[in-house]
Amino acid sequence: MLQPHHIATVQATLPLLESAGPALTEHFYARMFRDNPELKDVFNLAHQTSGAQPVALFNAILAYARHLNNPAVLSQAVERIAQKHTGFLIRPEQYSIVGHHLLETIRELAPDAATPEVLKAWELAYGQLAQIFIGREAEIYDQAANADGGWRGTRRFRLASKTRETDLITSFEFEPLDGAPVSLFKPGQYLTLSISHPSLAQHEYRQYSLSDAPNGCSYRISVKREAVPVPGEVSTYLHNELQVGDEIDLLPPAGDFYLDVTRDTPVVLLSGGVGLTPMLSMFNSLAEADHSAPVYYLHGCENGRQHAFAEHVAALCASHESLHSFSWYQAPLTSDIADQDYQASGLMDLAPLRAAIERDNTEYYFCGPLPFMQAIHRQLKAWGVADSRLHYELFGPHQAL
């Protein structure tokens, strides 16, 4: 049982962890993958290479240690991580593996400070956190299994259609092999693909935002072919190898980022590049529900060749009085027509639209590359928009804006 003196001991080691920085979690991952290579099939190794995952874990460890007296403060972060974990089929017994490597990392990087008292305190603190996650993840697994059309673990699907939306983005629609219904999802949530293929070095799990309104019959994702700084293994497989009729294992929809509004709530959806995928699911859902309050779909991309679903969005706006769209092209082509294909050039500047999109009860949802979301966040905060009305999704490990 974690006692006050254990909490005090853990928190006394925080300056040591802060001085180690993300090197601590880099060491942790290195030793874990060395001794438990089977976990390479669970973790996204691309995030290890980029350094994003070690930084995210380091920040999470510090945040948890600071709030040991009141872990409920971290409920939002716990929910986000638990949702992600169920998308990788994380099992309770794997927490003991992670805990072992965390304690050994502290012992190896700080041998002078790693006294039996310190290690015991961290063991109990980690054990408390593990139980929080294990309990919440069990609930998520049960909810997914008990939902109408739901299931536990993986379920076999067939690629029903593959549609090239732009030079870089392709949509994939999956139907269940058993022909039974599939569970509904909340617009904004993601789907997890479980993939084994000779072109891939490891078994891979990848989570992609669902890009259409729920229909109870099929799921659609829209995936960008990743090429910078190196080609993405899974996106390359999907674009080049996966063909209509091929089978694939899917996990139930999940995620803590989703549309949550009433019919009379004004909504602003903002996206950059392939960040449009969860926004499109929300936009389509609002259109289907004949949302009564104004909805603005704001999108920024490179040019017309990269503007996915432009005609679809325009058609929805034309047929629904409450729906509006506005687009920015960073570098318009000579074939792109101003005020027809796009309304402004350069980066997304919300100032000209402020009178239309700023209301006291407007909810803002945004997704895209990190610099894009940071810029949107700065603009909305400068207007005085409360954090409670700002909702965002970052593809990959979460970061604060």
Give how far Cα 209 sits from Cα of 1, 281, 315, Å.
40, 9, 22
Helix (H) or strand (E) holding 310: helix 310-319
Query: Helices 4-12 and 52-66 sit at what angle, rounded to 10 degrees?
Result: 140
95 a catalytic residue: yes
| Proportion of the chain in helix, strand, coil states, percent, rounded to 5 | 45, 20, 35
- Written as six digits, the tokens of 141 are 């697994």
**Which residue has 């379920």 as its token pair?**
155
Is 274 marked within a binding site?
yes
The β-bridge partners of 316 are none
The catalytic residue among 29, 95, 342, 392 is 95
205 a catalytic residue: no
CA–CA gap between residue 9 and residue 5 (Å, rounded): 6
Is 276 marked within a binding site?
yes
Is 29 marked within a binding site?
no
By the 10 Å C-beta count (0-12 exposed, 13-18 middle, 19+ buried), 61 is classed as buried
Helices (H) and strands (E) counted in the chain, each on its own, are 13, 12
Closest to 374 measured CA to CA, from 398, 401, 346: 401
3-state secondary structure 322-337: CEEEEEEECCCCCCCC
Q: Are strands 190-195 and 204-209 parallel, antiparallel or unpaired?
A: antiparallel
Is 275 marked within a binding site?
yes
Give how far Cα 132 sits from Cα of 135, 226, 265, 382, Å.
5, 35, 34, 36
Is 300 marked within a binding site?
no
Closest to 220 measured CA to CA, from 257, 169, 261, 293: 169
* 303 phi/psi in degrees, rounded to 5: -170, -175
Is 198 marked within a binding site?
no
Strands of 103-259, DSSP E: 155-164, 169-176, 190-195, 204-209, 219-224, 247-254
Find how far residue 132's CA is from the centre of its chain: 21
Q: What is the largest CA-CA distance in the chain?
A: 69
The catalytic residue among 137, 173, 204, 233 is 137
Is 207 marked within a binding site?
yes
Is 239 marked within a binding site?
no
Is 312 marked within a binding site?
no
Is 273 marked within a binding site?
yes
Is 190 marked within a binding site?
yes
- Written as six digits, the tokens of 8 are 């005090």
Is 27 marked within a binding site?
no
Q: Which residues are catalytic?
A: 95, 137
Annotated binding site for heme b: 85
Annotated binding-site residues read: 85, 190, 206-209, 273-278, 394-397
Q: State the binding site for NADP(+).
A: 273-278
Q: Which residues are annotated as a binding site for FAD?
A: 190, 206-209, 394-397
